[in-house]
Amino acid sequence: MIKTTLLFFATALAEIVGCYLPWLWLKRGHTPLLLIPAVLSLMLFVWLLTLHPAASGRVYAAYGGVYVCAALVWLRVVDGEKLTVWDWTGAGVALCGMLVVVAGWGRS
């Protein structure tokens, strides 16, 4: 389960970077050349999703929980926003949901 969770966090990072770089271009006036690494990052994101050993719907459901946590870490580290108790609670609930879904993989 640790390997799967780490793979989910790598997947989330690739997706966030792939979406953040165009945001910098569109909202902050950075160079459109950021679209090149953005596309590469999103390609990595899609490839990483294929490495999970479960049906795609279960992978996406579990990934959603990790994405919530990763996005909040991004909010703190990159955007410099302080996380609230609501942020931490939501992240914990989302991560627990991911663990429940992953624990059930292969137990049909």
Closest CA to 10 of 69, 75, 97: 69
State residue 108's pLDDT score: 66
The CA dihedral of 98, 66, 64, 105, to the nearest 10 degrees, is -30
Mean of pLDDT values over 73-98: 95
Q: Given a cut of 80, is residue 32 above it in pLDDT? A: yes
Q: Given a cut of 90, is residue 4 above it in pLDDT? A: no
Report helix, strand or coil for 106.
Answer: coil
